[in-house]
Chain A
Amino acid sequence: MSRSSPHLRLEQLVRHYAGAAAPAVDRISLDLPRGALLALLGPSGCGKTTTLRMIAGLEKPESGRILVGGRDVTALPPHKRHMGVVFQSYALFPHMTSVGNVAFGLEMQGVARAERGPRALAALELVGLSGFAQRKPRQLSGGQQQRVALARALAIEPDLLLLDEPLSALDAKLREGVRDEIRALQQRLGTTAVFVTHDQTEALAMADLVAVMNAGKVEQLAAPEEIFERPATRFVATFVGRAARIQGRLEAGGVLRTEGGAALRTHSSLAAGPVEAFLRPHRVRLLAPGEAAPTGMANVLDATLARRVYTGEIVALEANTPAGVITAELHAGTDGLWRELQPGSPMRLAFRDTDLLVFPAP
Chain B
Amino acid sequence: MIGWLLALPALGVMGLAFLWPLAMLFRISLNRTTETGAMEVAVTGESYTRLLGDEFTWELIGNTLGLSGTSAAIAVAMALPVALMIRAASPRWRGLLALLAIAPLLVSGTARLVGWMAILGDQGMINVVLRWVGLTDAPIRMINNWTGVRVGLMESLMPYAVLVLLAGLGRLDSRLEEAAATLGANRFRTFIRVTLPLAAPALLAAWLLTLVLGISAFITPRLMGGGRVFVLATEIYNLALESVDWPAAAAMAMLLLGGLILLMLLRGCVGWLQGKRA
A binds B: yes
List A residues at the B interface (Cβ < 8 Å).
Answer: 18, 56-58, 77-85, 87, 89, 91-95, 104-105, 108-110, 152-153, 156, 162
Q: Is B183's CB under 8 angstroms from A152's CB? A: yes
Q: Is the CB of B194 within 8 A of A58?
A: no
Interface membership of B185, Cβ < 8 A: yes
Residues of chain B lying within 8 A (CB to CB) of residue A91 = 173, 175-176, 178-179
> Would you give 20 A-B contacts (Cβ < 8 Å), ordered by A?
A56-B182, A58-B178, A78-B178, A78-B182, A79-B182, A79-B186, A79-B190, A80-B184, A91-B176, A93-B180, A94-B176, A94-B277, A95-B197, A104-B183, A104-B193, A105-B184, A108-B184, A108-B185, A108-B189, A156-B183
By a CB distance below 8 angstroms, the chain B residues around A84 are: 182-183
| Interface check B198, CB cutoff 8 A | yes
Q: B-side binding surface: helix, strand, loop or mixed? A: helix
List the count of A-B residue pairs having beta carbons below 8 Å apart: 69
Q: Apart from A56-B182, A85-B178, what 7 extra A-B contacts exist at CB < 8 Å?
A: A79-B182, A91-B176, A93-B180, A108-B185, A109-B184, A110-B184, A152-B183
Q: Given the known A-B contacts A79-B186, A108-B185, A108-B189, are A85 and B198 also in contact in the complex, defined by CB atoms under 8 Å?
A: no
B43 at the interface (CB under 8 A from A): no
In the complex, chain B residues whose CB is within 8 Å of the CB of A105: 183-184
Smallest Cβ distance from A152 to chain B, in angstroms? 7
Known: A93-B194, A95-B197. A81 touches B182 (CB 8 A): yes
Chain A residues whose C-beta falls within 8 Å of the C-beta of B183 in the assembled complex: 79, 84, 104-105, 108-109, 152, 156
Partner of A79, one of B90, B173, B181: B181
B residues near A153, Cβ cutoff 8 Å? 182
When the two chains form their complex, are residues B182 and A104 in contact, meaning their CB atoms are under 8 A apart? Answer: no
Known contacts: A91-B175, A93-B176. The answer to whether A18 contacts B90 by CB under 8 A is yes
Partner of B198, one of A94, A104, A152: A94
List 6 A-B pairs, minimum CB-CB distance, nearest first: A108-B184, A105-B183, A91-B179, A91-B175, A78-B181, A85-B182
- The answer for the CA separation of A270 and B198 in the assembled complex, in Å, is 61
B55 CB to closest chain A CB (Å) equals 44
- Per-position binary interface string of chain B over residues 122-164, scored 1 when its CB falls under 8 Å from any chain A CB and 0 otherwise: 0000000000000000000000000000000000000000000
Interface centre among B175, B180, B181, B182 (most CB of A within 10 A): B182
A-chain residues with CB within 8 Å of residue B180 when the two chains form the complex: 93, 104, 108
Given contact pairs A91-B173, A93-B194, A94-B198, A156 touches B184 in the complex (Cβ within 8 A): yes
Number of B positions contacting A (CB below 8 A): 20
Known contacts A89-B175, A104-B193; A77/B181 CB under 8 A: yes
Give every chain B residue within 8 A of A93 (Cβ-Cβ). Answer: 176, 179-180, 194, 198
Shortest distance between the CB of B103 and any CB in chain A (Å): 25
Report the separation of the CA atoms of residues A152 and B184 in the bound assembly, to the nearest whole angstrom. Answer: 12
Q: Give chain B residues whose Cβ lies under 8 Å from the Cβ of A77.
A: 181, 186
A85 to B181, CA, bound (A): 10
Contacts of A108 in B (CB 8 A): 180, 183-185, 189
User: Of residues 169 to 205 in B, which have CB atoms within 8 Å of A's CB atoms?
Assistant: 173, 175-176, 178-186, 189-190, 193-194, 197-198
Assembly CA distance A83 to B181 (angstroms): 10
A85: nearest residue on chain B (CB-CB)? B182
Q: Which residue of A lies closest to B90 (CB)?
A: A18
The CA of A92 and the CA of B179, in the complex, are separated in Å by: 8
Shortest A111–chain B CB gap in Å is 10
Q: Could you tell me the distance between the alpha carbons of A89 and B245 in the complex, rounded to whole angstroms?
A: 63
* Shortest Cβ distance from residue B244 to the other chain A in the assembled complex, whole angstroms: 55
Would B185 and A79 count as touching, CB distance under 8 A? yes
- B248, chain A: closest CB distance, angstroms: 48
Chain B positions within 8 Å of A81 at CB level = 182
Complex Cα spacing A108 to B190, Å: 10
- Bound-state CA distance A219–B150 (Å) is 64
User: CA separation between A79 and B189, bound complex, in Å?
Assistant: 11
CB distance from B274 to the nearest CB of A (A): 12
Closest beta carbon of chain A to B35's beta carbon, Å: 61
Evaluate contact between B198 and A87: CB separation under 8 angstroms: no
Q: How far is the CB of B79 from chain A (nearest CB, A)?
A: 22
**CB-based contact B179/A79 at 8 Å:** no
B253: min CB distance to chain A, Å: 41
Q: Which A residue's beta carbon lies closest to that of B184?
A: A108
> What 1/0 mask marks residues of chain B from 185 to 228 whose CB sits below 8 Å from any chain A CB?
11001100110011000000000000000000000000000000
Is there contact, CB below 8 Å, between A87 and B179? yes
8 Å CB contacts to A: which residues of B87-145? 90
Residue numbers in A under 8 Å from B277 (CB-CB): 94
